[in-house]
Amino acid sequence: MQRLLKASVLIAAIALVTASLVTADTTKQNLIDEWNAKGNPTVKFAAQADVNETEPLNDTCPGESFTPGDVYHGELTTDDCDWVEFSCNAGDRVVIETGPEAGLPTVDTFLELYSDNCNFFEASDDDAGAGLYSRIEGTIVVDATFQVKVRGFSGASTGFYQLSITCTPPPPPNG
């Protein structure tokens, strides 16, 4: 299967007063933070890519390159796992989570986070996300490239999922 990229446009409208173009790294939280910081309404436009997994290329570490802010669409089969690799900067707040794929069979996911080309285990989660889905969040200490392994809770877990990773920079210091 060839890697398919389908560009989609995510439009988040807070109010129709001003408009500005933002990058794919912008998240809903960025929009909320900007709203709170400026106290004025804005309209934001952000591009987001949907990335479909490629088998078997993503079954081993380090996995496929992943851009935080994109949505990864995966399927877990018996004894399967999917790996993706992403980078974040020191101070970024990272959220890694799985969720359901609309209209497809769900799966009980388990997330594992590694660094140093899969040599150092950082964190794992079974079901801190919605339902049986997983979520890992924290603050990045140093600029680094990380690897995420998505697997079923048990070897028999099969189904479809979405993976999202966001790296949100810290707010600028008050001054």
**pLDDT, greater one: 37 or 105:** 105
- Give the other-Cβ count within 10 Å of 108's Cβ: 21
Distance in angstroms (rounded) separating the CA atoms of residues 86 and 121 = 15
- 141 part of a folded domain: yes
The band of 107, judged by pLDDT with boundaries at 50, 70 and 90, is very high
Count of other CB atoms within 10 angstroms of residue 17? 9
Residue 94 and residue 75 in contact, taking contact as beta carbons nearer than 8 Å: no
CA distance 111 to 41: 37
User: In the prediction, which pLDDT does 139 show?
Assistant: 96
Q: In this structure, are residues 122 and 113 in contact, taking their beta carbons and an 8 Å threshold?
A: yes
Quick check: 146 and 92 in contact, CB under 8 A?
no
Domain harbouring 97, CATH code: 2.60.120.380
On whether residue 10 sits in a domain, the answer given is no
Tally of structural domains, the chain: 1
Of all residues in the chain, what percent carry a pLDDT higher than 90?
Answer: 57
Q: Is residue 82 part of a domain?
A: yes
Specify the pairing of strand 109-115 against strand 120-125. antiparallel
pLDDT at position 48? 52
Indicate whether 152 belongs to any domain: yes
Q: pLDDT-based confidence at 77, cuts 50/70/90?
A: very high
The answer to whether the beta carbons of residues 151 and 112 sit under 8 Å apart is yes
pLDDT 10s digits, 144-158 = 999 999 999 998 899
Percent of the chain with pLDDT over 70: 66
Task: Establish if 60 belongs to a structural domain.
Answer: yes
Is the distance from CB of 79 to CB of 58 less than 8 angstroms? no
Per-residue model confidence (pLDDT) at position 21: 27
Residue 14 lies in a domain: no
User: What confidence category does residue 120 fall into, taking pLDDT thresholds of 50, 70 and 90?
Assistant: very high
pLDDT digit string, tens, across residues 5-25 = 222 222 222 222 222 223 333
pLDDT-based confidence at 38, cuts 50/70/90? very low
User: How confident is residue 59, by pLDDT bands cut at 50, 70 and 90?
Assistant: confident
Residue 7 lies in a domain: no
Residue 81 three-state SS? strand
Inter-residue contact 148 to 163 (CB < 8 Å): yes
Whole-number mean pLDDT of the chain?
75
In a 3-state reduction of DSSP, which class is residue 148? strand
In a domain, 143, yes or no: yes
Give the residue numbers spanning the domain of 107.
Answer: 53-168
> What is the model's pLDDT at position 86?
96
Alpha carbon distance 68, 168 (integer Å) = 9
What kind and span of H or E run contains 9? strand 5-13
Q: Is 57 left (phi over 0), alpha (psi -120 to 50) or beta?
A: alpha
pLDDT at 18: 22
